[in-house]
Amino acid sequence: MCLLNAMAAGASPAENLSGDDLMQKAVARSKHRAAAAGQPAYTYNKVMVTEELDTAGTVKKREEKVYAARFQADSTSLRLVEVDGRPLSGAELKKQLADEAKSDRALGPSKSGNGDRRENLLTPELVARYSFTVAGKSLVNDRMAFEIHFKPKIPAPQPHSLLDRFLGRVSGTLWIDAEDFEIARAQVRLDSQVDLVGGLLGSLKAMGYTLLRTRLPDGQWFNASSSANFEGRKLLFSTSVRTTSRYSNFRPVKLR
């Protein structure tokens, strides 16, 4: 309630900014944080559950993976340590590395070359693809945030990879923290089908993604939870997958 009264008492200079301007402030904040010297390193845990569903929505296969994560110099690295409650075997580790390399080739090269780009939603290249409209303000985890709708710009950039085609067909809503200009919450959806090799290998027909982030007492922001639903076709078979991720036990790394 104190926060609401403070916001009502005097408008922030950001109140009159457009959605595109607010996103540029968020990108600038992200770039400043990345360039700042002496940023603390963190470790934390990520638990990801993947479920394959049948046509009736019943879970037919479930897999739980536990990752040890490290955040340093604005880059996140993930190390898989457990699968379904047991330590990773040598064969599974080899397969994991091969799958990650295959995924990276399909998604295209990272612009920055750092960390897990799939968890970074505030790169200049990504934001430049979309137009943004302010829809209002609301509380996210008891902090005021700008609610911003986004959609691909028209005309879209020429796609050069699977990731480009995917990004050109998603839209949604971002909640940008009104004080820190960090993403506090996100909802993303796929607006039209994405084919793999012209549809020969399969297609992604529907996708929904939600993300909730948290602010630590020292001002650092991290993902708190996320979920996604995918519906599509793999070769000749329909597929439906649901994933949920939880992030916990954030600990600053003590430098010796």
Q: Where are the domains of the chain?
A: 19-252
Q: What is the overall mean pLDDT for the chain?
A: 83
Least confident of 74-83, 110-119, 145-154, 162-171: 110-119
Cα distances from 92 to residues 62, 81, 106, 135, 154, in angstroms, run: 17, 10, 21, 46, 43
Q: Tens digits of per-residue pLDDT, 7-37?
A: 444 445 677 889 999 999 999 988 877 666 6
Q: Is the pLDDT of residue 141 over 70?
A: yes
Q: What is the pLDDT of residues 173-221, one digit of tens each?
A: 999 999 999 999 999 999 999 887 666 678 899 999 999 999 999 899 9
Lowest model confidence (mean pLDDT) among 9-23, 53-67, 157-171 = 9-23
User: Does residue 83 have a pLDDT over 70?
Assistant: yes
Confidence (pLDDT) at 222 = 93
pTM for the full predicted model: 0.80
pLDDT of residue 156: 75
Q: Which residue has the tokens 């091969």?
A: 98
184 CB burial (10 A radius; 0-12, 13-18, 19+)? buried
CB crowding 82-97: b at 16 or more within 10 Å, else e: eeeeeebeeeeeeeee
Lowest mean pLDDT: which of 62-66, 78-82, 154-158?
154-158
- H or E segment at 185? strand 183-190
Rg (CA), the chain: 20
User: Which residue has better confidence, 33 or 113?
Assistant: 33
Beta bridge partners, 62, equal 51
Complete DSSP assignment for 16-27: G--HHHHHHHHH
